[in-house]
Copies of this chain bind each other. A is one copy, B any other.
Amino acid sequence: MKEKLTTYKLTRHPVVRWLLAINLIITGTVNANAQLHQYVDPFIGSEGDGHIFIGPSCPYGMVKPGPDNLKTSNSGYSPGADKAIYGFSQVHVSGTGGGPKYGNISVMPFSGNEDDIKQESLRNNEVTHAGYYSVRLQKWNIKTEITTSSKVAFYRFVFNDQNKKAIKIDAGEFLGEKPVPDAREAQQFVGSEIEIVSDNEVKGYSRIRGGWNNGTAYTVYFHVIFSHPFNRFTTWKGVQLFAGKKIQFDEGKKTGALLFFEALQTDTIEMKIGISYISTLKAKQNIDVEIPHWRFEKTLQETQAKWEELLKKIEIDADASVEQKKLFYTALYHTMLMPVDRTNENPLWENGPYYDDFYAVWDTYRCSHPLITLINESRQVDIINALLQIYQHEGYMPDARSGNCNGRTQGGSNAEVLIADAFIKKLQGINYSLAFDAMLKDATIPPGGNEEKEGRGGLTDYNTLGYVSNSFVRAGNRTLEYAYDDYCLAMVAKGLNRMGEYRRFLHQASNWQNLWRPIEDNGSKGFIMPKDASGNWIDSIQCDVNNGRASYIKYTPLAQDWPVCVCWWCGFFYEASSWEYSLSVPHDVAALIQRSGGAADFEKRLNTLFDKDLYNVGNEPSFLTPNLYHWIGRPDLSSDRIRKIIAKNFNASHSGIPGNDDSGAMSSWLAFHLVGLYPNAGQSYYLLNTPAFRQTIIHQENGKDFIIKANHLSGKNCYIQSVTLNGKAFQQSWIEHEDIIKGGELVFEMGDKPLEWGTKILPPSLSTDSF
């Protein structure tokens, strides 16, 4: 396939780009229902803070090939037109913050100086779509297209210069390298190897450690097969080139190969790269199993079909706008990029489902996993069983994990919430007794010197004082989150009839109150504030010492001690202020309201938060907050806030995600709100809000459909007047998971002002429910 080069300015207008992409890729009739994957625009969130990976991937796909043009970028990608592509590497993460991870096994077509390991080019004609990516390398006019199966990347290169066709394979490249040994969050090179297997095959590996989660060394093995033979090659080790040398074994130096195809008559060269975490032979086997042919379009279509299969589980109103469809289906797509299914690719132990790149559960427990549960319950069962295998073999479930290694707890030990969510929603195929042991481990055994890696940091304080004192970093959110984790433990304990543990953890679920200080700020009273181990409130926090002089900041509910005063991970709260965190009591909003002075004060408090911009739309701690109006009988206000937040912050442009997508966390928050449901993860229900669509059908794995209708919905008719479930009046502003699972029809009658619905019966809270 050769096409005339058109110089093409990168446009930010996504619809034009998307239509163009479709035209380029899709042939034949487009069936509107069957082609939901066409609404996926991987560029959404790729600019700004979204950090979205733009290359092709299968759902939960292990291989994520894509362009690298910025070594400090989490996704490898920078939208900057001045940033030259220096390679296409095979493993990436999506939406993450902190230090980069992966970026391994970099390939690069080039027509440049053949004695130079460095080959890079500016780009144009960049096109991306679910399962597809293409770009033109401007410098040499080389077109590169990529599609992928689960473990194999498929490349098609079209060269312009017949006499200079070369491809570089770099086993030493990776993202986030820093010259300082053991620099925090930097990946570090351990070793690599490359071997020319035949005149169209190359294999090897890259071994890297560190990165965001400070992980132990992981090894990405690869096997490359070309559609055509290269006529000569040069390999390298370190900075030295060796023409014709077939093997560069691992002696702790970077290795790679330059392959020359100038003897070839055709201008098109295709390439398959199988990836494995087991061995090069397994990488080759992955090619044999997944892409045993040279039909690029077949692989692309198969991957599109995999996405289609999952995306169509939630069928939204056919009349929704293209923008809405793009927003929604891209959000679903983002949610299913990670964690990564590495079953049969686990180098650590035998058997069982294996998932990696929980990055982090702290981000994804709130919406991503509940969304996976709704769309693809069996997948969530596998993921939880993978977590339990990690617990069994390594001692703790991860709060975050990447590169086969737990690392970087953020706040609570949030795998507990995933287990409670599965238990309370009655997911089958999980050993809940084992799962409870794993939860208990988190709640009772301090991780000691591994507090950044796993478990509950500050647990010794928490389990003796009832809160984490300022002797420990992140004491504020740790206390809050552990209290919620303990609620989750209590619920599972109760279900397993372990009543002693139930009572203990139910009691501890109120521990957040031990840091509740009745001070006033911006007109509201009562905030989670730091306390020392003797029980004294802390009024100021010591900053780092400069030139021998310590400075202090007064600690107020809006104070932010990180990262200016103490390190990024060392503040009283993680990534948010007390104004935000003091509203984070998902299991007992009623008690929170009571401690805040009652419903009126609480409403005022919420209004202050949003109206004074004390709320951070781009981060997880406030995910539930817009819904808290439900608990004062004002679901209409929740819906108002949510609608405004989405309108202001989310759109289908490249910068359409307001914060790190965090492997789909932000996107799943959006997706839920677009259909009018919002999960309170770890609990059995969804809060109901005004949906964006007149109709949504959830096609569940059990074969039963659940339909959400919003009759008379319009920009003006945005208030729920009344609700029926399966034809019967439904007064409550939340719905139980079991009512969805059964299948049925939830109908909102919409109108232009709020009525009585949702004002009388309030959603569940620990202190008002009978336990």
A contact set with B: CB distance below 8 Å: 182, 188-191, 193, 195, 205, 207, 209, 216-217, 219, 247, 249-252, 278-279, 281-282, 284-285, 344, 347-351, 392-396, 441, 445-451, 455, 460
Contacts and interface: CB of A to CB of B under 8 A. Distances in A.
A455 B450 CA distance: 11
Nearest to A205: B279
The 8 closest A-B pairs by CB, nearest first: A448-B448, A249-B281, A445-B449, A447-B448, A446-B448, A249-B285, A217-B348, A250-B278
Nearest to A442: B449
Given A250-B282, A392-B182, A350 B449 contact: no
B191 A347 contact: yes
A771 to B, nearest CB: 29
A247 B392 contact: no
B445 A447 contact: no
Contacts of A250: 278-279, 281-282
A282 B250 CA distance: 6
Given A249-B284, A252-B350, 14 more contacts: A188-B350, A189-B350, A190-B348, A190-B349, A191-B278, A209-B393, A249-B282, A250-B282, A251-B285, A251-B344, A252-B344, A396-B449, A441-B449, A446-B446
10 contacts: A189-B350, A190-B350, A193-B279, A209-B393, A249-B282, A396-B449, A441-B449, A445-B449, A447-B450, A448-B450
A281 B248 CA distance: 8
A283 to B, nearest CB: 9
Given A448-B447, A449-B445, A209 B348 contact: yes
A151 to B, nearest CB: 13
Contacts of A252: 344, 350-351
A62 to B, nearest CB: 16
Contact of A349 (B188, B344, B396, B455): B188
Nearest to A281: B249
Contact of A279 (B249, B281, B350): B249
Contacts of A282: 193, 249-251
A447 B454 CA distance: 12
Contacts of A447: 448-450
Contacts of A281: 193, 195, 247, 249-250
B207 A347 contact: yes
A588 to B, nearest CB: 29
A350 B281 CA distance: 25
Contacts of A182: 392-393
Contacts of A285: 249, 251
Given A278-B191, A445-B448, A217 B347 contact: yes
Nearest to A347: B217
Contacts of A195: 281
Contacts of A446: 446, 448-449
A348 B405 CA distance: 12
A288 to B, nearest CB: 9
Nearest to A249: B281
A500 B41 CA distance: 61
A107 to B, nearest CB: 21
Contacts of A190: 347-350
Nearest to A278: B250
A349 B285 CA distance: 28
Nearest to A248: B281
Contact of A450 (B249, B279, B395, B460): B395
A458 to B, nearest CB: 12
Contacts of A193: 279, 281-282
A436 B241 CA distance: 43
Contacts of A451: 448
A438 to B, nearest CB: 11
Nearest to A449: B445
A532 B341 CA distance: 48
Nearest to A348: B217
A524 to B, nearest CB: 38
B249 A349 contact: no
